[in-house]
A and B are shown apart, each in its own frame.
Chain A
Amino acid sequence: VKRRSLLKGGLVGGVLLATGGVGLGFWPSRRTYQPQAPLRVLDEREFAILAAIAARVVVVPGARPDTVAQRVDATLDMAPLEAQRDFKRLLLLFENAFFGLAFDGRPRPFTRLSTADQDAVLVAWRDSRITVRRAGYNVLRKALVAAYYAFPDSWAAVGYVGPPRIGGVP
């Protein structure tokens, strides 16, 4: 049965994701962020990439990219195996310097770009004509903002006072 998926979002998208780790993808990532606890789904390089993206997506005083990335790793643990695999490949593709050069004219891994260039990469994925790049931007963006705003440490920034004290609230 033919189905579309992150991997099959058009032929280009399939090739892109399947080869996310080759070519200039071997250029080491800058590991600014380290996991605070054992990872469940991601490896340390994937974690560092995700946290670097988190640093540009969740720009709120007090928000920590490593904390947000760690929460995404925990959420991924509840996803089907195929979705976990796609997410990991997406991170490597996002980081990959070869595809960065080919698509966005930036011959460096995402983690080694300036913050302004990192934002430009996010915009390029967001506005891409290739469905899999738009979907990739969205899945990263949604996973990261959800991981931040689901938790009480985000409430002050949005003026939310939290739930009332009723029922099962301890």
Chain B
Amino acid sequence: VSGYADAGAIPEGALSADVCVVGSGAGGAVTAAQLAAAGLEVLVLEEGGHHTRTDFHMLEHEAYPMLYQEGGGRATADLGIGILQGRAVGGTTVVNWTTCFRTPDDVIEHWHKAHAVNGLTVADLRPHYEAVEQRLNIHKVGLDEANRNNLLLYEGCKALGLPVDTTARNVRGCFKSGYCGMGCPVDAKQSMLVTYLPDAVAKGARVVSRCRVDRLEVEAGKVARARCTVLGRDGYHPTGAQLTVRAARFVLSAGAINTPAILIRSGLGGGGVGRRTFLHPSVGLAGHWKDPIEPYFGAPQSVASHALAHPSSGMGMFLEAAPLHPMLASIAVGGFGAVHAGRMAELMYMTGHISLAIDGFDASEPGGTVTVRPSGAAVLDYPFTPRLAQAMREGLRTLARIDLAAGAEYVVSGHDPAVKIASERDIAQLDSAPYDVGRLAVFSAHQMGGAAMGDDPARAVVRSADLRHHSIANLYVIDGSVFPTGLGVNPQESIYGLAHLMADRLAQVSR
């Protein structure tokens, strides 16, 4: 095996490497590139397929089955929250909407005080953010690059005097076509597929796709091998072939939900594995306008407001835009039959603005819990709490005021039946509307936690200074599952920066 290989093309048997990295997304790709650059023999295992630019046709019916977990149908156990999470070589970075933030300083301070994260400081991370920002061309965009969906969010915030700004994006020569969520057809998005994975491969790393890690086998306090199932060309059904991987060190970078599931399937359930999984649960408001918005064209996200991120009590939230292609819109829009069809006929004139709840900071917020079903599949149970309901209500109220201030004719919530608001006076209807499972559309595009870092082994899975497992000497977790809380910002850059730092530290001890 050299470079990229499909697991189905590899003779059944054993592979070996200095370091085996499980997962090729934001955490795994950066880790692999750093370790390969340090001269280590790296093998990356990826459950999803290896799809590239020419496979990305900007069609929802192709993209979701090809590039998302469970064909785009992943949801929490009670189906209360839809989960958009990538599943491909390059992971979620292939499909994310390119919004980049460094981890806020106060979040890292909070982890230090409340979660015994002692081995990681803002100063430690700074040079690593700078490195990934350069490699991924992460740069703040101008307002002239915002599509109408984003521009109206900006104008509405300004009209209300709410702080708002354009975001940084990891793009180079962006066409602003609007299809980030379906894979970039021109390689403008600086996903792992076109950056750190090729960097790793150039230094000798191997990437094996359609290879699902069932479990790690531990012998004498160390992971001896990974047992893997080979998936067929459809990407979902096993071929019947197995692969075994031996390595001196193993790094789990399968992302929140799947990394905890691998630990659980491996019998490594300590440190609260699977618990405290956070989602930034997101609710949307559809604005309806006189003039065409075309919410499917243009950079999907370029504006964000953190005006409500730090409430004096309760859960904070942040506000962004979401692209509305027909399928994504059809799920978010409530109703059925003629009511639903009537709403969909207005798609061209709609904006989609979202409020993302910042979960994990209040001691009363349990977050979600990952368990493993009999088939081995991961499932996340994420309860709706009164605080989450309050955050959803407050977020929608604010979005309604923003859209009306920007000139929307009326706005409609994601409730079913929908709440329609045409004036400031109507906003009170959002207070009496229900905020429970199945009453309104709730999504998550940000999965975090479930294998927390921290220096208290009772509450954390990995040590904070090197992300090494508390009891398994050659096992590391480097991905979004180590975050002890939600982040309050889109997570991709936080994962890049952390992986860049931690892989550097791992390289020091691995040589």
B59 to chain A: which residues have CB within 8 Å?
A: 152, 163
CB distance from A167 to the nearest CB of B (A): 3
Is B236 positioned at the interface, with any CB of A under 8 Å from its CB? yes
Q: Are the C-beta atoms of B185 and A168 separated by less than 8 Å?
A: yes
| Beta-carbon contact of A80 and B77 below 8 Å | no
Question: Which residue from A1, A138, A154 sits with its C-beta under 8 Å from B326?
Answer: A154
Q: Name 20 A/B residue pairs within 8 A (Cβ), A-sorted.
A: A1-B371, A5-B381, A58-B340, A59-B340, A59-B341, A60-B344, A78-B73, A83-B377, A131-B437, A141-B416, A142-B331, A143-B73, A145-B331, A149-B327, A150-B326, A151-B61, A158-B347, A163-B58, A168-B56, A169-B185
Among A6, A142, A166, contact of B78 (Cβ-Cβ < 8 Å): A6
Interface residues of A in 1-51 (CB under 8 A from B): 1, 3-6, 8-9
The reply to whether the CB of A139 lies closer than 8 angstroms to some CB of chain B is yes
B373 x A167 contact (CB < 8 A): no
Distance of A122 Cα from B416 Cα, bound (Å)? 12
Pair B64/A150 contact, Cβ less than 8 Å:
yes
Whether B60 sits at the interface, judged by CB under 8 Å, is: yes
- Complex CA gap A131/B383 in Å reads 12
B341 neighbours in A (Cβ, 8 Å): 58-60, 157
* Contact (Cβ within 8 A) B340 A5: no
Cβ contact within 8 Å between A3 and B77: yes
Interface residues of A in 71-87 (CB under 8 A from B): 71, 75, 77-83
Please name all residues of chain A whose beta carbon is closer than 8 Å to the beta carbon of B348 when the two chains form the complex. 158-160
Interface band, chain B: 35 or more
Q: Assign chain A's interface to a size class.
A: 35 or more
Q: Is B272 an interface residue (CB 8 A)?
A: no
A103 contacts chain B at the CB level, 8 A cutoff: no
B379 touches A168 (CB 8 A): no
How distant is B101 from chain A, measured CB to nearest CB, in Å?
27
The answer on a CB contact under 8 Å between B377 and A131 is: no
Q: Are A3 and B336 in contact (CB under 8 A)?
A: no
- Inter-subunit contact B438/A135 (CB<8 Å): yes
A5 adjacent to B57 (CB under 8 Å): no
B330/A145 in contact, CB under 8 A: yes
Not counting A3-B369, A135-B437, A154-B326, a sample of 17 additional A-B residue pairs whose C-beta atoms are within 8 angstroms of each other reads A56-B336, A58-B341, A80-B375, A80-B377, A82-B374, A82-B379, A83-B70, A142-B331, A146-B72, A149-B327, A149-B329, A150-B327, A152-B59, A158-B326, A158-B348, A160-B348, A167-B56
A167 to B371 alpha-carbon distance, docked (Å):
40
- Bound Cα distance from A4 to B184, whole angstroms: 37
**Do the beta carbons of B330 and A148 come within 8 Å of each other?**
yes
* Complex contact B56–A5 (CB within 8 A): no
Closest CB in chain B relative to A112 CB, distance in Å? 19
**Cβ–Cβ < 8 Å partners of B340 in chain A:** 57-59, 145
Q: How far is the CB of A88 from chain B (nearest CB, A)?
A: 15
B198 within 8 A of A: no
| Alpha-carbon distance A3/B325, docked complex (angstroms) | 33
Instruction: Check if B438 sits within 8 Å of A131, measured CB to CB.
Output: yes
Contact of A134 with B437 in the complex, beta carbons under 8 Å: yes
**CB <8 Å contact, A157 and B331:** no
Chain A minimum-CB-distance residue to B177: A164
Distance (whole angstroms) from the CB of B186 to the closest CB of chain A: 5
